Amino acid sequence: MGLIGAFLGLFSHDIAIDLGTANTLVYVRGEGVIIDEPTVVALRRDTGRVIAVGLEAKTMLGRTPDSIQALRPMKDGVIANYEVTERMLKYFISKSHGRRRLIRPRTLICVPSGITEVEKRAVRDSALHAGAREVMMVYEPMAAAIGADLPVHEPVGNVIIDIGGGTTEVAVISLSGIVTNTSIRIGGDEMDAAIDKYLRKTYNLLVGEQTAESIKLKIGSAYPVDGEQTMIIRGRDVVEGVPRTLEITAEEIRQAIAETVGSIVLAVRQTLEQTPPELAADIVDRGIYMAGGGSLLRGLDRLLEVETELTVTRTEKALTTVVVGAGKIIDDGDRYRKVVIRGEDT
């Protein structure tokens, strides 16, 4: 970058943030995704001092001594712990700032389409306190559709499903707007909780949140897949109180998460049922797109195809689709003006 470029860089500092229940990602205008970390903060219990943020803090979850607390400040897609979210945002915003500390960034934040006015205000206030100059928002399914390169401006029905850690959003988008949508506070976290509950009830085995997630990642599925595996897991026996190992099958885990997966399927069906007929006709041709970490669950595409009789396509990088879409919005503000929820409206 030349001198002039560096100079202009001082002033064109816009960022987009996907503040997720599981992961927070930051896109810097003209640069791309520069932060991709778990939404976890570790604090000293006595002074409240932040000792780790992101991946480092996530490895501490469930492993901390009394003096340290590792926590997830977002729940069900919205802020659960305001103060900690603000401190995490402050850390990420200043990290994304790099050399350009002169001006506070204009910030576009992705929010669930089911967010309430009160929750929106909490997002805006915490971003302002964390160092944003101006806060704009975009609904997550809209950002996901843009990130997936769907023709959101055209008069055609685009169906996008975003399955995150805390929320699942299904939306039909046409002419730069959301025509129908369903937002449920169910996602990957609930699958982890279901696995944890299953192991406790069936085997008297206690595992942590992290182990439950790793079981899902390794052998979890929504529909039978070829070459199903088994997995050896470790936990603590509820009755004996001692560490124990156990072998579990993919089939068992599929059963354990079936109800949660069923809620996601239902949300998709409900959204399709509410779709106006002209758009429904487009959808038959175009099919459904899905993004978000939860969409990576094995066989979920197949299950949804069987349930809806439509083709289901996963976006190329499911975990970054939303922030990449938000990044496209800040890179080309004029083109995407209509999809941004401005501060005055919130």
Among 16, 20, 58, 106, binds Mg ion (CB under 5 A): 20
Closest distance to ligand ATP from the beta carbon of 274 (Å): 22
Separation in Å, CA 171 to CA 32, 141, 152, 181, 272: 26, 6, 11, 4, 9
**Both tokens assigned to 169:** 């959003």
Give the chain's radius of gyration (CA, Å): 21
Residue 167 touching ligand ATP (CB under 6 A): yes
Residue 319 touching ligand ATP (CB under 6 A): yes
**Both tokens assigned to 194:** 């279901």
Query: Judged by CB under 5 A, how many residues of this single chain contact Mg ion?
Result: 2
Among 141, 157, 235, 292, binds ligand ATP (CB under 6 A): 292
Residue 21 touching ligand ATP (CB under 6 A): yes
Among 189, 196, 282, 301, binds ligand ATP (CB under 6 A): 189
- Asked if 89 contacts 82 with a C-beta cutoff of 8 angstroms, the reply is no
Span 163-182, contacts to Mg ion by CB under 5 A: 164
Residue 112 touching Mg ion (CB under 5 A): no
Closest distance to ligand ATP from the beta carbon of 232 (Å): 19
Question: Strands 14-19, 106-111: parallel, antiparallel or unpaired by DSSP?
Answer: parallel
Helix (H, G, I), strand (E, B), or coil: what is residue 23?
A: strand
Which residue's CB is nearer to ligand ATP, number 279 or number 289? 289
Closest distance to ligand ATP from the beta carbon of 168 (Å): 7
Helix (H) or strand (E) holding 19, with range, is strand 14-19
**Both tokens assigned to 84:** 């900690």
Rounded Cα–Cα distance for residues 330 and 199 (Å) = 45
Among 54, 188, 325, 327, binds ligand ATP (CB under 6 A): 188
Which residue's CB is nearer to ligand ATP, number 216 or number 286? 216
**Both tokens assigned to 157:** 């029905």
Beta-ladder partners of 249: 230
Specify the amino acid at residue 298.
R
Q: Which does 235 bind (CB under 5 to 8 A by kind): ligand ATP, Mg ion, none?
A: none
Rounded Cα–Cα distance for residues 151 and 338 (Å) = 14
With contacts defined by CB under 5 A, name the span among 18-26, 63-71, 178-186, 274-282 that binds Mg ion: 18-26
With contacts defined by CB under 6 A, name the span among 18-26, 150-158, 276-284, 332-340 that binds ligand ATP: 18-26
Closest distance to ligand ATP from the beta carbon of 250 (Å): 13
Phi-psi region of 175 (alpha: psi -120 to 50; beta: other; left: phi over 0): left
Residues found near Mg ion in the complex (CB under 5 A): 20, 164
Residues found near ligand ATP in the complex (CB under 6 A): 20-23, 77, 164-167, 187-189, 213, 216-217, 220, 292-294, 296-297, 319
